[in-house]
Chain A
Amino acid sequence: MNTPATAVDRQFATETLEGAVIRFCGDSGDGMQLTGGEFTTTSAVFGNDVSTFPDFPAEIRAPAGTLPGVSGFQVNFASTDIFTPGDKVDVLVAMNPAGLKTNVADLKGGGILIVNEDAFNNNNLKKAGYTSNPLEDGSLDEYKLYKIPISRLCDESLAETGMGSKAIGRAKNMYTLGIVYWLFDRSLEPTIQHLTNLFAKRKNQPEMAEMNIKALKAGYYMGETAEMFQNRYVVPKAKLAPGQYRQISGNEATALGLIAGARLAKTDLTYAGYPITPASDILHFLSAYKNYHVKTLQMEDEIAAICATIGAAYTGDIAVTASSGPGIALKGEGIGLAVMTELPVVIVNVQRGGPSTGLPTKTEQADLLQAVYGRNGECPVIVIAAKGPGDCFDAAVEAVRLAVKYMTPVMLLTDGYIANGAEPWLLPHVADLEPIAVKYATEFNAHADDHDGEGNNVYWPYLRNENLARPWAIPGTANLEHRIGGLEKAENTGNVSYDPANHQRMINLRQQKVEKSAQDIPPTEIFGADSGDVLIIGWGGTYGAIHAATERLLAREHKVGTIHLRHINPLPPDLGAIIKRFKTIVVPELNKGQLIRLIREHYLVDAKGINKVQGKPFLVAELVAEVESLLPRK
């Protein structure tokens, strides 16, 4: 396609925006995730702060054109710090009527609405439940509606490629992306590079790369030449902390953090998993990094996965499994074995909507009590949570560190929202990461009474150090042969014991050990007021929304402070004192109130919950409104 000469002559009014929220939506086969991901990368590489929210159906390909088959990808990009993908969208791109119908309510009044006009035929309108064509009946008058025959224009621009009509039809997402790139004055280069890598290099389909790049450019030129848009928009670079950045999703950051943890411990990583949404990507990422001494086992089920990690931990590896709620439920007995055998196992729960199969592709925070309490017997584990995609890296390193130091299972909670969402990640330097000390036992550590002579002459697997951790002697170490298992252990010797007093002591010791790990929790950071009217206590993936809401509340001069907990079991030692400095404690969670129970139980405080269980993250506006309703009237 040649660029018409007129293109360079045309003038457009350019409006500078602080930020914008775009949502791409269409059929799950329309490639909306790729489209949104590309826009995000391009914006991030340009220098915007970005935050994303991919939202896709659980079905791989729900019937085309139907409401359940709609897949969406929302990206917020700005010249300022942002913490969420945005409550409402400024630009909605709808590839079909079903996409329009399920998403238009989130478009701001006066917002830009770009639709693929060709998809609005009778059949698709009917499937989406429209009785009249919304493009014609005036129902979209409050928006800036751009009806573009995307399918036809894309077909025409690719007709000369000689590719089949099916392949050409699937390139219309790139055509659409080209239009949006033009509208926001973005460079095509990052996407061209990615398409070349994806199709030409990795899949060895150079013709597919060429066709998609052609579609992308055609869409861009369409924006320029068609006299359709009056304005272009510019979102300048953000002033982020200096350093090197890349885009990262929570699952990828978790995988990198686990590798980092194992490398810092100078130990191999054994990861055993079973495919489950939304945790599978951790397995995918790790399986590609074998040259980091990573062994990945796709086991036959969730139970096998936790049990294989126990075997690997006994044998001296950093052992990890990841799953989501239903899988964690299956692992419960195995986690109990890891508690009893006091082995360093990391369990990642990428939470999703429950109960049962629930909402596999949607986010929720309803597994917190499962993490803390959800096993038979008195069965404490350390529980920590990641607050955002990049933070998953630090949280995973922390999980490995705590597991090894205290010889205990550690549960790391992330969720579907931060696992799939991406944000710019300020890249850490390995030299700045604290090494993790792993010292396997190699010598006798006790003196048995029935032996003659001086000095140690036996190995007791349950003799504890100052942190109450037991020693880690691994198979292959001469003379330290020992047996462990799920039956109650005698203190110190680790032999099977049914002694009542011993059982009480061991129950207490396991609990004290987990509590002892609180000594490693750094002083709690408070954002906003140090004391005052409201203390908001959050945890996990709601960080962005809570932080943004707090900023707004502070801007309105409310005396509000926010804490976002990394450590949930045990809780930070200074939390009780902080709570006392505020009149009202508010705990927003994407569940029916779980952290709030722990807060009430530990601090006997009448905390108020803000609870939402819709499979969706908090909107900033709803948090602000809820908190304001709890504030004293001015």
Chain B
Amino acid sequence: MEAVPARAHGCVAAVALLALLCLLPLPTVRAPWWALGLLCALYAVCEHVVRRRFGGTFYPVLLAGAFLLPPPAAALVALPAALLSPVEHRPALPRRVWRAARPALAVWGAAEVNWALGGRDAVVASDFPYALLPAGAAVLAFCLVLTALDGGIRVLALGVPPRRAWHGLLSRSLAPVAVHGLAGLMMAVLWRSPYGPVAALLVLLPMWVSWWIFAQYHRERAAHQATIRALVQAVDIKDGYTRGHSERVGQASVMIARELGMDEDRVEVLRFAGILHDVGKLGVPTRLLRKDGPLTPEERRIIELHPEYGHEMVRGISFLGEARAAILHHHERLDGSGYPYGLVGAQIPECARVVAVADAFDAMTSTRSYRRARPVEAAVTELERCAGAQFDPRMVAALARALARWGCPRSSEGGSGGERQPTDTTDETPLRAPGRQPATGTRR
């Protein structure tokens, strides 16, 4: 992010120019200046607190401005907050300008649409079913402008290919902004009612609480993921030669699951199954795990208890679902010669068959103390040789196809880097407005 390309500077300058053009008719419009000032201050305060405490952007005040004020005045509401708030990353100037111009343009668009459809009169007269129509159109315009700007800056500043830059931006932002828009509409209606701005402020309280709880949810979830990672690391440390093994098995399991066309929930469960498959090794004495040279039958029997230990440990974690069965059965073989129960064929749960293939593949392709890593092709050939007797041929074929398409899974240095959170692939933003400006970097 250090070197911002000149194209990005150009884009920011162009957007700023457009925003200024929107503000140009300001001296000629008749606007309730005290209301404008109050909204500006309110938005600045909300933005400041939300940005510092929760991350994200708080749109209800902005949209209420769009419903209440003429377009140039509405665009002004967004400015003080952006110009006053601190910028965390350098270069500060273009970021600050972008942060001010982007919402200003979006609000201007929303206010223009609302004004054209007679939304303001509907708000003043509280003409109710009708007021929803201009408000809905304004929210749509707001989202469209934001999406266009965000996609554009991603193409120009980050060099994302245009096809992917706009992918999912609109659909992701529409629902949260619509909710914020409804809150904004209520604010606007109550603002113009005899009860005045005091009543309008009350609308913000539930939104506020909802955000607060949502932020707590995220904090707790992060802590939970850290705990699961710690569990895995404990196994990795104990079992000296398997650094990063758990995480790679998780990734390989996900690749197989996606290739088999499983739905996203199940893919997530399989990721956990792969990551935690050896957690039972915590119960096996370290001396045995690290022993060089051949194991006695007695020692082998003790090591082979680890799927049962693992299952016993994670038995009470309900969100793992099927993954618990995968942990118990990942050493079963199709011909019934595996352990712990010697299940045959379809008796073995599907997810256990996936993890078994992923485990074997990673074991072959990573270097261990007693032998070198094998090349990927040799490992796949070996897996295909054992398919039918030891592994499920469907899973082996899926892994081969996925490898041909995506390449080999790589862990981020022993799983300690933490770049990829295990469940961060699911989109968790029903309330959080998509306020991630590309130019401000990521916060969480």
Q: Note whether A and B form a binding pair.
A: no
